[in-house]
Amino acid sequence: MSLKEKVIGGVSWSIISRLGSQVFQFGFTIILARLLTPNDFGIVGLLLVFTGFAQLIGDSGFSTALIQKIDAEETHYSTVFWIQLGIGIFLSFVFFIVGKYIAYFFATPVLEQITQVISLNFFISSLGYTQQALFTKRFLFKKLAVLSLISVFVSGVFAVIFALNGFGVWALVWQILIASSVLSLLSWVLSDWKPKLIINYAACKDLTKYGLYLLGHQSVNYWLRNGDKLLIGKFLSPASLGIYSRGYNLMMLPMNNISAVLGRVMFPALAQMQGDIPRFKKAYLKSVQMIAFIAFPSMVLASVIAEPFINLVLGEKWAEVVPIFRILCWAGLLQSIVFPVNWIFTSLGKTKVQFQLSVILGILYIISILIGLKFGIVGVALAYLFISIPSAFINFVISGKYIYLSVREVFKAVSLILCMSLLMGIILALADHFYFRTQNDILRLAALTIIGITLFVLFCKVIKDATYTEFLQVVTNKILKRKER
């Protein structure tokens, strides 16, 4: 099977995995949002800011290093497994001890017990990291899809059962633990690789330099994405964090379903092209165009339909999410094409530069959020949007020099898609203002969505957009191949 066929197959299974997982997660979130309160989501959100960061430390960049290293051997895999397991056990111990301090920091006593229970998650997750990295390296995305879908579905079912039986915030806690447990268990069941009792210093050293710089970047980038939640939880309230988090998570749905899907496949593919920069650049730019083709109209449409969407999905008690979601949609539009610059740094082994860049942008980000806090959660959302603009430009300039790609080339590649998306958004906003706003939420949401999709496809057909044509060809070829089988 050629690399192109592996990529197309990988993208297909990644889409199935991501969309399926998000559909399950979205459905369970709707149910849980009606059974629980913004305060319940806010309390878990406070802790997830810390545990999510610790999860990065648990992986320590070793999984990505294994994928990037073309000639990785058994000694590398086994060594990484035992190191990650050791880190996982250590983090579980640390979080069990510091639970009371986290509870004190946020003045939320129940966080002590929640932290101690969730501390088990680090040990559980570490058991499956290496197997999942091997699945990615070998383009076994079908197995990754099975892992993801089953873990999300099983954990969601249990969370709903717990919520219905009055567990409150603990329903969300057990959802996290069950998801990790199922994921790690299935990783062992579906993998033909099992660790050997090998801890090789040379293999560890071989991967550490790459992994540590990547960990540094991921750590800073993590706080870029979660520092706002930490500050809201500390200086505003858990309820405010619950509202902001819902808006942020909804905004991330399209980006997670597009950029992350392609990234999961393109990273190992681009790693194999690292010796052929012209080919690398062409593949990268095509991927960015494909991301923009889906993300741009999705984000613009989401911004327009925010009000009826939130009312129907989450209920009227979540009405404050609407302005947050709308603002963050525009940040998400820009970030969708910034996210792929990570492929350049990681595929070409430039993790040191990636880390240094993250530190600079992180400082600017924190300053912006602190200013935004003065104006509440809407101010934080606006600060997040405004800092995304210079951050995007800097990322494009620094990463582009490694593949001889200018900022002008990037924006030229996506400019037509952006114009079509904005035109669609303007027409929809006018239609909503002058007619659909007075209709019920179901009709309003359905009509605006159908009109928006129809308009965008019509624009693509009229101007004969190349990305649209290529997208149809990929989908059609994939369907025909499945029928032939």
Encode pLDDT of 99-151 as tens digits. Answer: 888 888 777 888 888 888 888 888 888 888 888 888 877 777 778 888 888 88
Predicted pLDDT of residue 167: 86
Q: How many CA atoms lie less than 13 Å away from 429 in the CB half-sphere?
A: 12
Given a cut of 70, whether residue 443 has pLDDT beyond it is yes
Count of other CB atoms within 10 angstroms of residue 440:
11
Q: Per-residue confidence at 161, pLDDT binned at 50, 70, 90?
A: very high
Nearest of 428, 267, 231 to residue 340 by alpha carbon: 267
Distance CA 383, CA 367 (A): 9
Distance CA 432, CA 451 (A): 11
Q: What pTM was computed for the model?
A: 0.66
Residue pLDDT, tens place only, 326-365:
999 999 899 888 888 888 887 887 878 888 888 888 888 8
As a residue count, the chain comes to 485
**Which residues have C-beta within 8 Å of that of residue 239, sequence separation ≥ 6?**
38, 39, 42
Yes or no: say if 214 and 14 are a contact pair by the CB < 8 Å rule: no
Handedness of CA 335, 341, 347, 351 (dihedral sign): negative
Residue pLDDT, tens place only, 186-239:
988 888 888 888 777 777 777 776 666 766 766 777 766 667 777 787 777 777
Share of the chain above pLDDT 90, in %: 19
Predicted pLDDT of residue 480: 46
The secondary structure of 62-119 as a DSSP string is HHHHHHH-TT--HHHHHHHHHHHHHHHHHHHHHHHHHHHHHHHHHT-THHHHHHHHHT
User: Of 14 and 149, which is predicted with more confidence?
Assistant: 149
Yes or no: say if 37 and 169 are a contact pair by the CB < 8 Å rule: no
Chain position carrying tokens 């390296």: 137
